[in-house]
Amino acid sequence: MRLNLQSDYALRLLMQLAANTNALCTIADVAAYYGISRTHLMKVANTLGREGFIETVRGRAGGLRLARKASSIIIGEVVRKTEVDFALVECLQEGKSNCLLTPACRLKGVLAEATQAFIAVLDNYTIADLITNNDALRDLLNLEAA
């Protein structure tokens, strides 16, 4: 299973915002720090804002912050909101299977079960679980302890 870039960037942004409780973060700073596209990160931030994970503060000293506690942001929920689909193979795509084996293939059920297990594990963790007592992450992000 592989997450798309939107999910990857969304999780990184949420971790950065959760770890950085002392100040707002800007799109430009986060994009520069990770060496990623500012435009793409803006789209991710827009999605996260629309879904209620983050909020923006406008103005000269503005930026981004979490819209709710990191302990209430479930990783599986974020991934479901940022992934287009979880179709690992063609037959798992709704109405798009041209595979001749589909009528007799058991692989579809196995892969569907594996996908459900993957999401179930992500549902067991929050953004807070990723940052709490993680001094190494704070060091990488150049943040002081909260």
DSSP 29-97: HHHHHHT--HHHHHHHHHHHHHTTSEEEE-STT-EEEESS-GGG-BHHHHHHHH-S---SSGGGSTT--
More confident site: 138 or 80? 80
Q: What is the pLDDT of residues 134-143, one digit of tens each?
A: 888 878 877 6
Mean pLDDT for 107-113 is: 87
Quick check: 146 pLDDT over 70?
Answer: no
19-75 pLDDT, tens digit per residue, is: 988 889 999 999 998 999 999 999 999 999 999 999 998 888 889 999 999 999 999
- The pLDDT value recorded for residue 144 is 59
Please name the amino acid found at residue 20: N
Classify domain 5-85+126-140 at the CATH class level. Answer: mainly alpha
Q: Are the C-beta atoms of residues 74 and 51 closer than 8 Å to each other? A: no
Q: Over 90: is that where the pLDDT of 10 sits?
A: yes
The neighbour count for residue 35, using CB atoms within 10 Å, is: 6
